[in-house]
Amino acid sequence: MRRPLWIKNAAQLVTVAGGKGPRSGPEMSDLGLIEDGSVWIENGKIKAVGTTAEMNAQFGEWEEDADVIEAYGKLVTPGLVDPHTHFVYGGSREKEFEMRLEGASYMDIMNAGGGIHATARMTRESTEEELYGQAERRLDSFLRHGVTTVEGKSGYGMDLETELKQLHIMKQLNERHPVDIVPTFMGAHAIPPEYKGREEEFVSLIIDEMIPAVTSEKLAVFNDVFCEIGVYTPEQSRRILEAGRRHGLIPKIHADEIEPYGGAELAAEVGAISAEHLLKASDEGIRKMAEAGVIACLLPATALYLREKAARGREMIDAGVPVTISTDCNPGSSPTTSMPLVMNLACISMRMSPAEALVAATINAAHAIGVQDKAGSIEPGKQADLVLWNVKNYQELQYLFGVNHVGAVWKKGEKVI
Ligand SMILES: N=CN[C@@H](CCC(=O)O)C(=O)O
Ligand SMILES: [Zn+2]
């Protein structure tokens, strides 16, 4: 049996405890904050949470048997959850960054064979070992930024072999790396050039071959589609998501990122767990998402990187939509692994409060990828995924931006940073 771990005397302990579903409205400001907080951990799981005085009374006599961490003057939170990433890919696209600064648009570059197509070529050409090594380094970086669980999408293959290659790498890394990985199949990330003019054939290939192959090996939990003008229409997206659903995959949608296209509305209609991006979501789409309880997964680093106006996070929260936030880690529109930066940007560019940003990056993110029973909050019975930050309160974490404040990270009770 492992020695218990006792983290005590934290200036602030953000538990985000309580509640059932993803948080919306005023609940998004409820941090379950404990001043002078303390957590007792046994066998990788949280056993008890309270003030240090309460925990001294309960566990004081076993202090010598435990590994004790004094967190005086520091903030402790749940491990962050990143609910939207494309972290398994080959190559990089720094030249496109320069082209965009010179005026080229994201879609122009993609339509000219760059963008997602360029990464798909580099991913197809990479060996499994090369992809594994690069993805592992990105996971290490997530961990250094306080992220203990990530969602990861395929979609840089768009042929069965490479889609499976990406998903197999996520499976292996999930078994070997401390960060937990929740896999999403995203064969519908773009229309591959070899199917130009034969888009319907590619949709049929996804539905008839790729989805059955991916699900027969149980390689994915979610199914995602890039529903965008010039990529997948809402009608094609619906068919792909419904086919996935028949095979047990839960729908997600890249919706209304570049143009308003009814993606938010579609997410509500197909009962997607979340809709992603939403920079151009309509009022009607936001209202429908609130009604259907679809989680808005907002990506303010992507908006910044593409020099676009961020999604209407403030309005969405006020309209009752549960909101989560993510890095969108990918080689084109957001090559970052920093969830702390994303929390900062959620405050600055979407007028979310420091508390809302933390709820969005923890329990709501956990709900968006179906891991709410084991991650996203500090509650008895959950995995001991915790971050100690070198700041004195949660406001300071969002206020001192662009700096990595991570002091230590525990995954399932093991100190990993
Ligand atoms: N917009 C679509 N997909 C990714 C970007 C992929 C890429 O540019 O490589 C996103 O979520 O931002
Ligand atoms: Zn994405």
The finding on whether 119 has its CB within 6 A of some atom of ligand 1 is yes
Domain encompassing residue 387: 5-79+377-415
Given a contact cutoff of 8 angstroms between Cβ atoms, the answer to whether 6 and 69 are in contact is: yes
The finding on whether 184 has its CB within 6 A of some atom of ligand 1 is no
Instruction: Give the pLDDT confidence score for residue 1 in this predicted structure.
Output: 79
* Number of domains comprising the chain: 2
Q: Are residues 239 and 381 in the same domain?
A: no
Distance between CA 167 and CA 171 in Å, rounded? 6
Distance between CA 91 and CA 414 in Å, rounded? 32
What is the DSSP track for 201-264? HHHHHIIIIIHHHHHHTT--SEEEEEE-TTSB-HHHHHHHHHHHHHTTPEEEEEESSSS--SHH
Supply 158's token pair: 């768009």
Q: Are residues 169 and 139 in the same domain?
A: yes
Given a contact cutoff of 8 angstroms between Cβ atoms, the answer to whether 251 and 284 are in contact is: no
Task: Report the separation in Å between the CA atom of 44 and the middle of ligand 2, taken as the mean of its atom positions.
Answer: 31
Q: Are residues 227 and 270 in the same domain?
A: yes
Q: Are residues 228 and 165 in the same domain?
A: yes
Among 87, 189, 252, name the best residue to mutate to test ligand 1's pocket (greatest count of ligand atoms within 8 A of Cβ).
189
Distance between CA 412 and CA 390 in Å, rounded? 21
Task: Report the separation in Å between the CA atom of 332 and the middle of ligand 1, taken as the mean of its atom positions.
Answer: 6
User: What CATH number is attached to the domain comprising 390?
Assistant: 2.30.40.10
Q: What is the pLDDT of residues 197-210, one digit of tens each?
A: 999 999 999 999 99
Q: Are residues 278 and 401 in the same domain?
A: no
Q: Are residues 181 and 293 in the same domain?
A: yes
Distance between CA 133 and CA 129 in Å, rounded? 6
Instruction: Give the pLDDT confidence score for residue 96 in this predicted structure.
Output: 97
- ipTM given for this complex: 0.99
Q: Is the pLDDT of residue 186 over 90?
A: yes
Q: Which residues are annotated as a binding site?
A: 84, 86, 93, 156, 189, 254, 257, 328, 330, 332-333
Q: Are residues 207 and 112 in the same domain?
A: yes
The finding on whether 328 has its CB within 6 A of some atom of ligand 1 is yes
Q: What is the pLDDT of residues 32-88, one digit of tens each?
A: 999 999 999 999 999 999 999 999 999 999 999 999 999 999 999 999 999 999 999
Distance between CA 184 and CA 13 in Å, rounded? 32
The finding on whether 155 has its CB within 6 A of some atom of ligand 1 is no
Maximum alpha-carbon separation in the chain: 72
Per-residue b or e along 207-235, where b marks 16 or more CB atoms closer than 10 Å to that residue's CB: beebbebbbeeebbbbbbbbbbeebbbbe
